[in-house]
Amino acid sequence: MNRRSFLKTSSAAGLAAGLPSAAFAAAQHSTAGTASQPQNKPHPQTPETLLLKDYRPKSIYKIPVTEVAKAKFPVIDMHSHPYAKTSDQIAEWVRNMDEVGIEKTIILTMATGSEFDKIYREYAKHGDRFEMWCGLDFTGYNQPGFASSVVKELKRCCQTGARGVGEIHDKGQGLRSGKSKTVGMHPDDPRMDPLFEACAELQLPFSMHVADPIWMYQKMDKTNDGLMNAYSWRLDNQPNIVGLSGMVDILDRTAKRHPHTTIIACHLANLDYDLTRLGTLLDRNPNLWADISARYAETGATPRAASQFYAKYADRLLYGTDMGFDKPMYQVTFRILETLDEHFYEIEQFDYHWYLNGFGLPDSTLKQVYRENAARLLTARG
């Protein structure tokens, strides 16, 4: 599920009751209502009653606003999901791709078996506009024969049309793919070795989501820089969880352990707050790539550091979205990457409450991130 839809399904009452006090949140406020305040009569939005989750700032600055209707160069989107569920919706997606300049979209189905086959059949109707990647079934991970069973299904999906694996999650509690439950092993577990080796043999890139944004692991108090969103996804209260830094170590060990397997770290490996460490990770592991999906807002807060990072690692970064298929979603990502716009908000797309800035990336970097790197990675599979 993408960031926007997840937040819209969160419990508003739970947030109101659980968020710590802050400048715009009254400590005793509740959306449930009281005897003197009927439930169907909303509280007036005053500084004393406005909740953090309802804060919707608008820029006051009279500065240039650049609308980027179409990407400056052709784009391969390396991180999306089967958001479109019907033939009409998929056709609409293709039209949107044409209008905004997306040449191809990689669909990380996270599915196996008949579910993968069904998704593949629907999207394959549009030829090479979409590429399907399958998931892994971790059922029976602690039983004999687990690896051989998973590899067998992986080969079957490959024969059906899968061209990669992903998105495989581990946010610190263990591996998960698609609708499966979290299991008690991490990517660097020896039980995963045959799966990574099979991916290398079959030339299937492996898309891996490790950890989540740093705020989710930090204390939910007034010092948390991302509190307004962190509380919805909080991981700080989960027992026996591996923290973000520990998960990055696991990613590092996994990439070293399987040098012949192409591994894509989704969402900048959630090191958007520490790009120096991500750079070190890329330097040490030539088989490791990073996609930039769903971390535009995080890096949009630090445009100079981000643009310097893009310049240095222009040949290792992959464009991705992970936020549906509406045209405005694509267009805001282009605005961040291409323009030098300052202090603008995109709460509707990202549900974040700090202002963003454009990176103003040069054409040479844009071409690599938008398409050239992905084309090189996909072509290398043979």
The contacts of residue 287 (CB under 8 Å, 6+ apart) are 255, 258, 259, 260, 261, 262, 263
Bridge partners (DSSP) of residue 80 are 107
Contact in structure between 206 and 165 (CB atoms under 8 Å): yes
Residues 44 and 182 in one domain: no
pLDDT at 43: 59
Residue 112 lies in a domain: yes
pLDDT tens profile 335-354: 999 999 999 999 888 888 88
Residues 244 and 274 in one domain: yes
Helices (H), the chain: 3-8, 12-18, 87-100, 113-124, 146-160, 193-202, 227-230, 244-257, 275-284, 296-299, 303-312, 327-338, 347-350, 363-367, 373-379
Residues 27 and 100 in one domain: no
Tokens of 186: 């991490």
> Containing domain of residue 31, as a range?
1-55
pLDDT at 22: 36
Residues 326 and 355 in one domain: yes
Bridge partners (DSSP) of residue 210 are 170
Residues 123 and 31 in one domain: no
pLDDT tens profile 38-75: 455 555 678 888 888 788 889 999 999 999 999 999 99
Residue 256 lies in a domain: yes
> Which among 100, 48, 57 has a CA at the least distance from the CA of 77?
100
Supply the DSSP symbol for 340: -
Residue 365 lies in a domain: yes
pLDDT at 34: 32
The count of domains in the chain is: 2
Instruction: Characterize 210-225 residue by residue with b for buried, 16 or more Cβ atoms within 10 angstroms of its Cβ, and e for exposed.
Output: bbbbbbbbbebeeebe
pLDDT at 12: 36
Supply the DSSP symbol for 37: S
> Which among 80, 157, 150 has a CA at the least distance from the CA of 118?
157
Residue 61 lies in a domain: no
Residues 281 and 193 in one domain: yes
Residues 165 and 137 in one domain: yes
pLDDT at 40: 54
Residues 151 and 15 in one domain: no
pLDDT at 181: 82
Residues of the chain under the 70 pLDDT cut? 1-44, 382
Tokens of 138: 């971790």
pLDDT at 180: 76
pLDDT at 106: 98
Helices (H), 9-76: 12-18
Residues 48 and 125 in one domain: no
pTM reported for the whole predicted model: 0.89
Residues 219 and 135 in one domain: yes
The last residue of one of the domains, among 55, 82, 99, is: 55
pLDDT at 18: 38
Residues 84 and 186 in one domain: yes
Q: How far apart are CA 96 and CA 92, in angstroms?
A: 6
Going across the sheet that includes 317-318, the strands are 176-177, 165-170, 206-210, 263-265, 288-291, 317-318
Tell me the CATH number at 76.
3.20.20.140
Region class of 211: left (phi > 0), else alpha (psi between -120 and 50), else beta: left
Residues 50 and 70 in one domain: no
pLDDT at 54: 83
